[in-house]
Amino acid sequence: MTSSIPSGYPDDQIEAFSLLGTREKLSIDDMKILALLEVAGEAFYLAAAQAVSNADAKDLLRRNGQEERGHAHRLLKAIDLLGGEFKLPDDTDNPYVQPMDLNGVINADLLNIIQQSEKDGDMQYQVWADAESNEQVAKILRQNGAEETRHGERVSQVVDLLR
């Protein structure tokens, strides 16, 4: 059962991302999906932090993870501002959060892909912000976007640390 997601959305993370990528402006339901995807971003970064042994790298990855959850909370605020209502489900009820073991998987190639997707994430958020008529909501989207770029910068620091 995927009761935590609005109907009509894929319960696969990559498909959900691709679908949102086709949106010029986010609907309230899109924002619910995006919030759930941000939480999945946290799960990824926390699993990545666990899979590296360098303490500074762990710290950078964990911080990204915490901010991804922060992005989800900002989206809840945006939904509220637009008159909608949404609460984050437990991770076990979030179809985009899957148990992850990233031991032995974290290398420069993967991290470079992540860095690029953070950059793309920022661009995406800015497009959605430009299309948003509620100024407070637009601001939230811009803030999330700017932090995605910072995540990418942290990820490239991790690449250096793991060299």
Binding footprint of Fe ion on the chain (CB under 5 A): 38, 68, 71, 118, 148, 151
Nearer to Fe ion, 52 or 118 (CB): 118
Question: Of 27, 46, 140, which Cα lies nearest the Cα of 86?
Answer: 27
**What are the start-end ranges of the H helices in the chain?**
13-21, 28-51, 55-81, 108-131, 135-162
Shortest Å distance, C-beta 157 to Fe ion: 14
Nearer to Fe ion, 3 or 128 (CB): 128
Shortest Å distance, C-beta 1 to Fe ion: 26
Q: Supply 12's token pair.
A: 């696969």
Shortest Å distance, C-beta 137 to Fe ion: 16
Nearer to Fe ion, 82 or 119 (CB): 119
User: For residues 1 and 31, what is the distance between their CA atoms, to the nearest angstrom?
Assistant: 20
Nearer to Fe ion, 4 or 64 (CB): 64
- Per residue, what are the HEC states of 42-64? HHHHHHHHHHCCCHHHHHHHHHH
Shortest Å distance, C-beta 139 to Fe ion: 15
